[in-house]
Amino acid sequence: MSGPRVLVVDDAVTVRAFSRRVLEADGFVVDEAVNGIEGLERAMAAPPDLVIVDVNMRKMDGYTMLRVLRRDPGLRDVPAIMISTESKDSDREQALLAGANWYIVKPPRPEVLVEAARLLTGRPPNREDAP
């Protein structure tokens, strides 16, 4: 397996499993973390090509994690998707302010999640390929 590495940070095991399934089916290599702290640890141990981060998590929330990520010299440019159940503009804005590149409202449609991940990791959309 040598697809782009995606780090999924979410405290809900079901959501992580969903993302893993959807992304792995499309050739991504998926890593998981259950909160911001663990997410940063994993990202530092093995810099991902994309992080997908939940907002509300125990210990460290998604906003804080993204802020820290953006301050890290080795990780500051890693593309980030923030994913949340909130669909208000203000929530989207807050995600972007924290450092997200894109915002997806939960529950994500599998194809939307995959397409966004593809775009942010430089893989052509709508086409089967193996980088």
Partner 1 sequence: MSELFDQFVVEAQELLETAGAALLALERDPADRASVDELFRAFHTLKGASALFDMAPFTRLVHAGEDTLSLLRDGRRGMTPALMTPELADRLFRALDQCARWVAALEEAGALPADAAEAAEGLVRGLAGGEVAAGAAASGGEADAFPWVAALTDAERAAVGDGALTAIDYTPDPECFFTGDDPLALFRRVPDLRLLRIEPSEPLPPLAQMDPYRCILRFRALSGAGMEAVTPAFRSVPDQVRIGSVTLAAAAVSPAAALPDSLAAAMLEEQARILDLPGSTAEQDSRRAAVARAVAAILTALGQPTERGAVEAACVDAGTMRRFLADGPAEKPATAEPRSASAPVPRRALRVEPERMDALMALVGELSVVKGQLGPLVRRAGNGEMARDLKSFSARLDSLVGDLRHAALRLRLLPLARVFDPLPRLVRDTARRLDKNVELVLEGAETEADKDILDVLGEPLLHLVRNALDHGIETPERRAATAKPPAGTLRVRAFQDKGGVVVEVSDDGAGIDPAAMRRAAVAKGLMEPDAAAALSDTDAVRLVFAPGFSTAGSVSDLSGRGVGMDAVRAAVERAGGRVEVVSTPGSGTRVRLSLPLTLSITRVVVVEAAGSLYGIPVALVGGVQRVPRAEIRSVKRAESVVLRDRVVPLVRLRRLLAQPDDERSRETVCVVLAELGDGPVAVAVDDVGERADVVLRPMTGVLRGLRGYAGTAVLGDGRLILVLDLRELL
Binding site for partner 1 (CB under 8 A): 1-5, 11-15, 17-18, 21, 29-32, 46-47, 49, 54, 56-58, 70-71, 76-80, 84-85, 87, 96-97, 99, 101-109, 111-112, 115-116, 118-126, 131
- Do residues 19 and 28 make contact, with C-beta atoms less than 8 angstroms apart? no
Q: Kindly state the smallest distance separating residue 36's Cβ from partner 1, in Å.
A: 13
**Considering beta carbons, is residue 15 or 37 the nearer one to partner 1?**
15
Q: H or E segment at 31?
A: strand 29-33
**Considering beta carbons, is residue 2 or 90 the nearer one to partner 1?**
2
Q: Is 119 exposed, middle or buried (0-12, 13-18, 19+ CB in 10 A)?
A: middle
Which residues touch 84 (CB under 8 Å, ≥6 apart)?
Answer: 54, 55, 56, 62, 91, 95, 103, 104, 105, 106
Q: Kindly state the smallest distance separating residue 82's Cβ from partner 1, in Å.
A: 11
Q: Kindly state the smallest distance separating residue 88's Cβ from partner 1, in Å.
A: 9
